[in-house]
Every structure is written in C-alpha cells, then in structure tokens.
Amino acid sequence: MRRLFTGLTCADLSPGAGLPLRAGLPFRAALSLSLGVALSVGVVAPSGAAAASIPRPFPGGPAAHSAAWHPVRGISRALLLTIAKGESATPSDRVVLLQCGSPGGTHPRATEACRLLDPVKGDLGDLKTSSDARCARHYEPMTVSASGMWDGHHLYFERTFGNSCELHAYTGAVFNF
C-alpha cells in the first residue's frame, strides 16, 4: 500500500482524531506511520496578513521576515522493518530501522538492503530477488512488515511467508536481520 497524506493539521495527529490509516494496522506500524506523517508535514507558519499581525520583537529581527512553509528535511528513505513468528505482524520478534541515503539505522545489512530497494523505489511488493532457493514445504509462518517513507511517499507493506526460507528467498537482505 502506498499513500501520501497531505493537508493534515496538528488536530489530525492528536489521539482519537481518526488518522486516515488502514483498519487493523498494527500499533507499531500505525505509530511509525503517524510519526512519519508528523515529520513530513513540517511546520506551517502564517503568511501575508496573518504574519503582519504578529508583534515583532525588534525591527529587522527574525519575526520581520515573511513566514513560509518549511518542510522537514533529512531522512527521506527510512523504513521500520519487523519480523514476527506466526500469521500476524504483532507482536514482533525483531525490529530494525533501515535508513538509505543517510547514515544511521540499526539494520545489519543496510547497504545490500538499500541496493535491493532502490530499483523498486522502496515498494517491497515489487521486490525482485534472484534467488534459486529450494525451500522445504513445511509450514512455519513468518510475517514481516515495513512502514516508513521513501522519497516523500509513505509506505506500508505486510506479508506472511510459509517459512523463513521463503521469506529470505523473496526479500533477500531486506529482512535478513
């Protein structure tokens, strides 16, 4: 699922405001997505007549400049990745932060994972790995989820695999932690 939420206010981000999230979204993913929305929305300051009515502390000071939209800059490719045993993404057994294009994160194979995600623009549903893995047909489900931002777009991905071999064959280094 790829969605871009725009036009949100601080009231939209308050508890119980009914964020435009998918029903049944796991709490960690919802929290991560909410924080991502809050960070990407940025700070809106008044402009024009509204800015003129703000008292100025001293001539030529910071308040004398016209206020404008200044989006938060920085991390534009960051995903919170989770792995859970079973058919549900919660509770998670392992969680890492993958950051691509900027230093940081907790993913042990971040360079490889980012290299896989670049061609598909972070969309794990389109991930193409070249694995010739021959996985056993035993059922020991593993559910993974990814939520965050990729080049200004909010992303959420969740999928259950039959076993860990299928998981790693499909996702390569992305969920190899």
CATH homologous superfamily of 76-171: Subtilisin inhibitor-like (3.30.350.10)
| 94-108 as b/e: b if 16+ CB within 10 A | eebbbbbeeeebebe
Listed residue (51, 1, 7) closest to 21, CA to CA? 1
- Output the pTM of the full model: 0.59
Distance CA 76, CA 99 (A): 8
pLDDT tens digits for range 64-83:
444 444 444 556 899 999 99
Distance CA 52, CA 56 (A): 9
Average pLDDT over residues 76-95: 96
Radius of gyration of the chain (CA): 20
**Average pLDDT of the chain to the nearest whole number:** 73
Percent of the residues in the chain that have a pLDDT greater than 90, as a whole number: 48
pLDDT tens digits for range 10-58:
444 444 444 343 444 454 545 454 445 444 444 344 455 555 554 444 4
DSSP states of 61-125: SGGGSPP--BPPPS--EEEEEEEEESSSS-S-SEEEEEESSSS----TTHHHHHHHHTTTTT-GG
